[in-house]
Structure 1
Amino acid sequence: MTNRTANHDTEITQRDAQDTGLLSNVDFAMLGIHDFAYIRQVPNAEEDSDEMVFGVFTADGTHIASFESHAVADAAIRQHDMEPRAVH
């Protein structure tokens, strides 16, 4: 019985090692795309000014909206059932 358990543990470890390469770079980038968003300051694209706005981006970096304040951007993310994440 002990040998059977040890053998089972070895099989799980080998399978886990093989599964590490299953996600492509595109698949990895898509993780959380509909669940998370982040906010960062970006130049205002709609006006010819030096004004900065707060852009909201999906997990893969797609720019989806811009707001005049960080608080409004945060509220918009939450209103669309997403979680804001910090990006450093």
Structure 2
Amino acid sequence: MTNRTNNHDTESDQRIGQDTGLLSNGDFALLGIHDFAYVRPVPNTENDSDELVYGVFTADGTHIASFENHAVADAAIRQHDMEPRAVH
């Protein structure tokens, strides 16, 4: 009869030295950058009023556009082959 505990320990020891393929922090930050975008209210920088517009941001937080309402912002995201995501 074989000792399964010893076999398991040997396999675990072999995996410790292997590259697991985990993402670096920088790689993780770029994950989905071209696939997802989110919308949030931002101050309108085109005039001096206190009016808010809906900014569209990439997954890494880069502001790429602003729209007068949330529905148009979502439509623009989809039109550019991206998926809108909720950010809470």
Moved over 6 A (4+): none
Inter-partner Cα distance in structure 2 for 1:72 and 1:52: 14
Aligned match of 1:61 = 61
Hey, what's the Cα distance between the residues in 1 that align with 2:54 and 2:24? 30
Between Structure 1 and Structure 2, the one with more helix by share is: 1
Aligned to 2:80: 80
Displacement of 1:79 after TM fit?
0.2
Distance apart, 1:18 and its partner CA: 4.5
Distance across 2 between alignment mates of 1:47 and 1:55: 15
Q: What is the RMSD of the two structures over their aligned residues, measured on CA atoms?
A: 2.4
Gaps of 5+ in 1: none
Paired letter, 2:15:
Q
User: Could you say what secondary structure the match of 2:84 adopts?
Assistant: strand
2 CA distance for matches of 1:56 and 1:37? 7
- TM-score normalised by L of structure 2: 0.78
Aligned to 1:19, what secondary structure does the other structure show?
Answer: coil
Report how many residues are paired.
80
Percent identity for Structure 1 against Structure 2: 74
Which amino acid is the alignment partner of residue 63 of structure 2?
Answer: H
Query: Offset of 1:55 from its aligned partner?
Result: 0.3
- 1:2-56 alpha-carbon deviations (Å, 9 max, x no partner): 98xx66xx36x936x8526x42222111000000000000111111010000000
Aligned to 2:25: 25
* Residue matched to 2:50: 50
TM-score norm. by structure 1 comes to 0.78
